[in-house]
Structure formats: C-alpha cells, structure tokens
A and B are shown apart, each in its own frame.
Chain A
Amino acid sequence: MSSNRSCGITAHSLMLALLAVAAACEMPGTGVASESEPTRTLTQALSGYEFQAEDTQALQDDPFANPGMLWVDQGQELWRDAGSADEPSCSSCHGESGDSMRGVAARYPAYDAETQSLLNIEGRINHCREKHQQQSPYAYESAELLALSAFVAHQSRGMPIDVFIDGPARTFFDSGQSYFYERRGQMNLACHHCHERNVGRMLRGDRLSQGQPTGYPAYRLEWQTLGSLHRRLRFCNVGVRAEPFSAGAPEYVNLELFLTWRARGLKVDAPAVRR
C-alpha cells in the first residue's frame, strides 16, 4: 500500500513536470495553411519498438512466440471463410494466400471516393463486408476485426509506410494534424507534449516513445490481448483525463492518417508487442 502511494506521488509530480515543460514550449506547426506542404516536427522517426525492454522486443521478433500471431492465424481462417454459405469469402475475391494484401496496410488510411470518407484498414475491411459480402460490419475491437486487420497488416510487415495526403485526403489530414497539437483534458496536454517533447523519458512504468502507429494492431502485455491503434489512442486521451472518442470514430481515423504520414520512413511492424 505505502509503495503504491509513493508511486502515485511520483507519477503526479512527473505530470506536473510535464505540465511545466508544456507551458514553457509552445509547439510549432499548428495553423499551417492547408495548401502548403506540412512540416514534420520530428527530425528522425523511431518505431515504438526501440523504446521497449529487450525481452519485449525479443517476444515481438520471434515469429512463433509473438502472441499477436495467434490473431494473424485466426485472420487467415476468417479470410478463407468469412461470409455465409452463399456469400463469397475474402479469398474468393482477393486470392487464397493474402499476398494481394502486400503493401496495402503501408498506404492506409486512404481516401475512398465512393463513400467520400477516409478509411483505415478496419474501415476498409468492414466496407468489403457490407458491400461485397452483404454482411453486417464487425464491431470495432471485435475478435474477428482484430484478426482480419492483423492478418492484412502482417502482409505488409517490413514495408515502408507511405500514405497519400493530397487532394480530398488533405482536409482529413489537416484535422488529424491539429488534433495532435491541441491541448486537451484536465492535464491540458497535447499528444505532442508527450510524444515529441518528452520522448525517451519515463512516465510511470513506460518509456515515452514517439507515439508511432506502425505496430498496430499490437499485443499489449498490460491488456493481455491484441488491441487496435484506436484502443491505444483512447488510453492516451484518458491518461490526460480527456474524454475519449469511441474506437473507429472519424476523429481517430483522421488522427491515424496524420500519425501514419508522420511515421514515413518507418516500416510496418505489426503485430508489435508492447509493455
């Protein structure tokens, strides 16, 4: 009990320290005119992998022991058998092996002209389910959607991230970018304050990374399960005592586009393992 207490106090004073840092350095880059080329405030992008303990990295690197691979396996089964008896499976249109999905996750989220919306991989899968399989969409964070998105993302493992932010994607990008630099919650902190200003420092038990999206869906030891990027974003919102959006909300998809653009130069490393 007493050790818990002192832990709480430490975390609290760290938060205060962060608030002080946050107040001292206002961020550049907000209010960028929409047409100009956006500037990345990070000089060098580093995957969240670099900030994990060695044993966690080893678990991610082992293609057998990485627990995220359980979802990839399950995704492969669903890939071949997702529809009802009279509807086609994913594989009947996209091929048995899933090879056709190579590189896809590296360029999502992407603007979809048909629905005039921004779709991430989860959104795209659900779109196929509704349009091509006449099935109701999977709930965000359901075992099925996690498995299929892990399967699709895994096909792009090792491929460089490159999303398209011009044309109609730009307004979505701009709103994601502003969200990243906006202060929020009772702690009045922006994503930027933790994931750019304080990278490498400890916050409670975590070493702050750059908040890169490259490893999602990821297996988090604390969750004891695989989770989507949006589940992680909800935690980051709650962490500063801000109201989170629901997973799959358009605000998070916009933010995901910004995060993925900001991650260019990095490679897809899903399913990652995190503390």
Chain B
Amino acid sequence: MLKARISAPARARPGEIISIKTLISHPMETGNRRNSLGARIPRNILTEFVCLYNGRQAFRAELHPAIAANPFLAFHLRADASGTLEFRWTDQDGEVTTETRDLVVEP
C-alpha cells in the first residue's frame, strides 16, 4: 500500500486560487540500476498523476524514470464550487492509489 500525504484547504472563497501539495511513498526504481550481483533491478515507477475537481480533470502529470523517489507535486486550482478533489496515482502496471478531500466554497 502506497502512503500519500495531501495538503489542501478545507474551505475557500469563490474564485480563490488555492494551493495543493501532494507527496506519495514510491521507490521510483528507474530500471537502470544493478544490484550487488550485477542483475538489473526491474523498473518500478508511477506513470501518471491526476487531480479531478468534481470529476473534471484539473491537473495531470506524466511521471518518468528520472523522477526521484517519493514524488512531490504542488500545483494551484481556482476554487469555483464546493465538492470533492480526487487524487489518483497510477503505476506502470495500472495499479491506482486514490485519495479524496472535500472542499467547501463559500463567500
């Protein structure tokens, strides 16, 4: 099980630009390293991160082998309606880790 940390405000004013930060535990093994016996360590990476805001894609990133372990991603959203933020990380085998946060938008 991957462990994710999310920093997102619980409430915002309409139109406010909010800052979101995410961190997830993952080795991001490149596939280019060898172990002490000379055998290649198999590639094991996350390939995609998506943030859905009330079901609509608000931010998306493709991840590649040169990205450090435990990827940290920070981005901004404009808060326009109350609802949920869904965060999805997908690994190279299609395995998905999901987290959600509620957001209340009111003046």
Instruction: Give the B-binding residues of A (Cβ under 8 A).
Output: 64-65, 67, 69-70, 73-74, 221, 224-225
For the complex, give the distance between the alpha carbons of A70 and B26 in Å. 10
Taking a contact as CB atoms under 8 Å apart, the answer to whether B69 and A73 are in contact is no
Choose one: B23, B24, B27; the contact of A65 (CB below 8 Å).
Answer: B23
Taking a contact as CB atoms under 8 Å apart, the answer to whether B3 and A74 are in contact is yes
Q: Which residues on the A side are within 8 Å of B23 (C-beta)?
A: 64-65, 67, 69-70
Q: Which residues on the B side are within 8 Å of A73 (C-beta)?
A: 3, 5
Asked if B59 CB lies within 8 Å of chain A CBs, one says no
Known: A70-B5, A70-B70. A65 touches B25 (CB 8 A): no
Shortest C-beta distance, A260 to chain B (Å), equals 28
Instruction: Give the A-binding residues of B (Cβ under 8 A).
Output: 3, 5, 7, 21, 23-25, 27-28, 68-70, 72
Choose one: A64, A70, A221, A225; the contact of B21 (CB below 8 Å).
Answer: A64
Choose one: A64, A221, A225; the contact of B5 (CB below 8 Å).
Answer: A64
Q: Which residues on the A side are within 8 Å of B70 (C-beta)?
A: 67, 70, 224-225
Taking a contact as CB atoms under 8 Å apart, the answer to whether B7 and A64 are in contact is yes
For the complex, give the distance between the alpha carbons of A53 and B27 in Å. 24
For the complex, give the distance between the alpha carbons of A67 and B68 in Å. 11
Q: Which residues on the A side are within 8 Å of B21 (C-beta)?
A: 64-65
Q: Which residues on the B side are within 8 Å of A69 (C-beta)?
A: 5, 23
| 12 A–B contacts from the bound complex (CB under 8 Å) | A64-B7, A67-B72, A69-B5, A69-B23, A70-B3, A70-B70, A73-B3, A74-B3, A74-B25, A221-B68, A224-B27, A224-B70
For the complex, give the distance between the alpha carbons of A74 and B70 in Å. 14
For the complex, give the distance between the alpha carbons of A69 and B5 in Å. 9
For the complex, give the distance between the alpha carbons of A225 and B26 in Å. 9
For the complex, give the distance between the alpha carbons of A221 and B69 in Å. 9
For the complex, give the distance between the alpha carbons of A64 and B73 in Å. 12
